Amino acid sequence: MAPFSLWMARVAWVVRLVETSADGDGQSTDVMKIAKPNDLGDIANLGLSLAEAKELLAAIQHEVVAAQAREHAVRRPSCRSCGAACHVKDYRQHRIATLFSQVTVSLPRFRCMACGEIEGGDDWPPRCRSAPELDRLQAHLSALMTYRVAAGVLEQMFPIEVGKDHETLRRHTMKLGGELRHRPVVRPAMPTAAISISVDSIFIRSCEEGERHLEVRVGNVETDDDGVDRCSGQWSDRGRTSGR
């Protein structure tokens, strides 16, 4: 009888994306091959690993974005100056950080054949460097934990190639927080019965002469309805203040 190790084999799957159009025509693209042992003697072989899942998400993201960019590039805007039709002048590469890897979008620029005016891509947002979903998740995690820990969680769980530095998370969080000031206040349909607010602070003095001293202030808000703590902190270092 052959040893048991010789019976072990590997099973492979090919993940294929099929693009379909309104008329039923479509094309397929193989995005990833997954090979796994068909033996579950080692429970670590069960299903996809985190690394495989991240690689699969990144591969699918690149294919979907490429297909969307091709469809978007077909649009032909009218000249804003004279209203005449525009023709493709050249293509520009746009790098966008998304939750599932950084992608490159190739979009055309247009030139008006009548007046020579240059037009950008149709309905493409200017100065766009990251997807809103990634910005919101960065801000959400940064509100729950420190910037360094939030950056580590994002890098561990998602195939993020850029925007994972803790300073980047801090800038994005502060930017989104500043935008909230200009939004109208949304009042809940059912007001909260009670709100508990607690505030505390501590002063940390350096043991060495001439070293920095820290003052930390922490506030916590909790409602009886959802029982969710909303914590905010602030520290100051020799007159410099940083909010969290």
Band the pLDDT of 1: cuts 50, 70, 90.
very low
Longest dimension (CA), the chain: 84
Q: Is 239 left (phi over 0), alpha (psi -120 to 50) or beta?
A: left
How far, in Å, CA of 123 to CA of 111, rounded? 16
pLDDT of residue 57: 92
Six token digits for residue 133: 């979903």
Residues 48-70: tens digit of each pLDDT: 899 999 999 999 999 999 888 88
Q: For the segment 117-156, what is each residue's pLDDT rounded down to a tens digit?
A: 776 666 677 677 888 888 888 888 888 888 888 888 988 8
Using DSSP, state whether 34 is helix, strand or coil: strand
pLDDT at residue number 225 = 65
Quick check: 239 pLDDT over 50? Answer: no
Distance (Å, whole) CA 147 – CA 243? 12
Q: What is the pLDDT of residue 163?
A: 65
pLDDT grade for 3, boundaries at 50, 70 and 90: very low
Q: Which of 52-61, 72-81, 108-117, 164-173 has the highest mean pLDDT?
A: 52-61
| Count helices and strands in the chain by DSSP H and E runs | 5, 9
CA atoms within 13 A on the CB side of 10: 7
Mean pLDDT in residue range 173-181: 80
Is the pLDDT assigned to residue 6 strictly greater than 50?
no
pLDDT at residue 193 is higher than 80: no
Q: In this structure, are residues 215 and 204 in contact, taking their beta carbons and an 8 Å threshold? A: yes
Question: What pLDDT does residue 235 have?
Answer: 60
CB of 159 closer than 8 Å to CB of 122: no
The rounded distance, in Å, linking the Cα atoms of 158 and 141 is 13
Domains of the chain, by residue range, sit at 7-119, 132-183, 194-244
Per-residue pLDDT band at 231 (split at 50, 70, 90): low
Q: How far apart are CA 192 and CA 177, in angstroms?
A: 23
Confidence check: pLDDT of 241 > 50: no
- What share of the chain has pLDDT > 90, as a percent? 10
Beta strands at 229-237 and 214-223: parallel, antiparallel or unpaired: antiparallel
Q: What does the DSSP assignment read for 148-167? A: HHHHHHHHHHS---SS-SHH
CA–CA separation, 154 vs 160, rounded Å?
7
Give the integer Cα–Cα distance in Å for 145 and 244: 9
pLDDT on residue 8:
52
Mean pLDDT (whole number) for 81-96: 80
pTM above 0.85, yes or no: no
Q: Would the pLDDT of 5 be above 50?
A: no
